[in-house]
């Protein structure tokens, strides 16, 4: 596990001759093992920030550090991160076990090690009795737990979630939220969780980053943000009482 730092992080997208700055100097120090939620309206730059941590987008300026390593120029595979998306895709022809083991087989880990890691993750996610099934024999919630399991077995230093709950119905969303909290309690992996949903943010966050238009408006505990919004935007977005 590791801390995660954003130091004056800037992102510009280029389209032809146009350039559009979408992240304007974000600074944040996240401690080892913290669960951080990034919340803000659609288009404010949440996914861009996450994708820069993952190495799926180039950083235009500043630094992102995982532990003491500046990861700006590292390939995604060298960053020790795992990412869970909104649209997870499992391999339909493979069993749950093989879906979870796939990345580890590619890394050529010993078979015993692979089995041990998959069984441990399956235990935490309550998938132990489903390891031989195919994805089509699972419920939506179970499938999503397999997608999380596939990320956990890699034992990443940082866990990234990009609105993983937004395609689920209300009941499954609440249930998966509990799973994610349990996962964090048991493994304590430094996590960045992106959502546009204020209630989800308030429920899950140890600390939250409120974003608007590529700026970080506030970084604090849900209680602080709610009771003492730093800007009028935060006050209206989080909806604290007058
Ligand atoms: P969020 O995840 O908060 O909805 P994004 O990070 O996806 O926001 O997008 C932030 C801004 O960057 C938006 O204005 C979006 O249109 C723009 N954007 C995102 N991806 C690209 C891209 N590949 N090229 C150009 N502009 C982009
Ligand atoms: Mg997004």
188/186 Cα distance (integer angstroms): 6
pLDDT at residue 240, rounded to an integer:
54
How many Å separate Cα 238 from the centre of its chain?
Answer: 21
Strands 69-70 and 81-84 turn out to be unpaired
In this structure, the residue with its CA closest to atom 15 of ligand 1 is: 43
CB-defined site of ligand 1, < 6 Å: 13, 15, 20, 22, 40, 42-48
- The residue-averaged pLDDT of 93-109 equals 94
- Whether residue 207 is predicted with pLDDT greater than 70 in this model: the reply is yes
Q: Per-residue confidence at 242, pLDDT binned at 50, 70, 90? A: very low
Query: What pLDDT does residue 169 have?
Result: 85
Task: Specify the pLDDT at position 141.
Answer: 85
For residue 140, what pLDDT is reported?
Answer: 85
Mean pLDDT of the 49-57 span:
95
**Nearest atom of ligand 1 to the alpha carbon of 41:** 3
Quick one: how far is CA 62 from the chain centroid?
Answer: 21
Q: Is the pLDDT of residue 236 over 50?
A: yes
Residue list, CB under 5 A from ion ligand 2: 47
Instruction: Kindly give, in sequence order, each residue whose CB lies less than 8 Å from that of residue 62, ignoring residues fewer than 6 positions away.
Output: 6, 7, 8, 9, 10, 25, 26
As for the ipTM of the complex, it is 0.98
How many CB atoms lie under 10 A from the CB of residue 95? 17
Residue in the block written with tokens 């499992």: 90
Q: Which two tokens stand for residue 219?
A: 């970084």
* Mean pLDDT (the chain, rounded): 93
For 109, the token pair is 């880990």
In this prediction, residues 160-168 reach a mean pLDDT of 87
Q: Would you say residue 79 has pLDDT above 50?
A: yes
To test ligand 1's pocket by mutation, which of 23, 45, 46 has the most ligand atoms within 8 angstroms of CB?
A: 45
The mean per-residue pLDDT over the stretch 74-84 comes to: 89
Q: Is residue 33 exposed (0-12), middle (13-18) or buried (19+ Cβ within 10 Å)?
A: middle
Ligand 1 atom closest to Cα of residue 163: 2
pLDDT of residue 196: 94
pLDDT of residue 84: 84
- Which ligand 1 atom is the nearest neighbour of the CA of 11? 12
Centre of ligand 1 from the C-alpha of residue 115, in Å: 39
């Amino acid at each position: 596990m590791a801390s995660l730092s954003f130091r004056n992080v800037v992102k510009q997208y280029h389209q032809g001759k146009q350039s559009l700055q979408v992240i304007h100097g974000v600074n944040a120090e996240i401690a080892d093992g913290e669960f951080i939620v990034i919340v803000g309206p659609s288009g404010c730059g949440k996914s861009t920030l996450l994708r820069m941590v993952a190495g799926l987008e180039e950083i235009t300026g500043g630094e992102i550090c995982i532990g003491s390593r500046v990861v700006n120029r590292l390939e995604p595979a060298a960053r020790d991160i795992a990412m869970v998306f909104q649209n997870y895709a499992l391999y339909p022809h493979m069993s749950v076990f093989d879906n979870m083991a796939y990345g580890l087989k590619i890394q050529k880990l010993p078979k015993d090690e692979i089995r041990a890691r998959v069984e441990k993750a399956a235990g935490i996610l309550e998938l132990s009795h489903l390891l031989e099934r195919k994805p089509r024999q699972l419920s939506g919630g179970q499938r999503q737990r397999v997608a999380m399991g596939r990320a956990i077995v890699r034992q990443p230093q940082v866990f990234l979630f990009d609105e993983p709950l937004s395609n689920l119905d209300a009941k499954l969303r609440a249930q998966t939220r509990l799973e994610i909290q349990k996962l964090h309690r048991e493994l304590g992996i430094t996590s960045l969780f992106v959502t546009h949903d204020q209630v989800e943010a308030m429920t899950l966050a140890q600390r939250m980053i409120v974003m608007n238009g590529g700026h970080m408006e506030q970084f604090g505990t849900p209680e602080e943000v709610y009771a003492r919004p730093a800007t009028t935007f935060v006050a209206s977005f989080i909806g604290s009482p007058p």
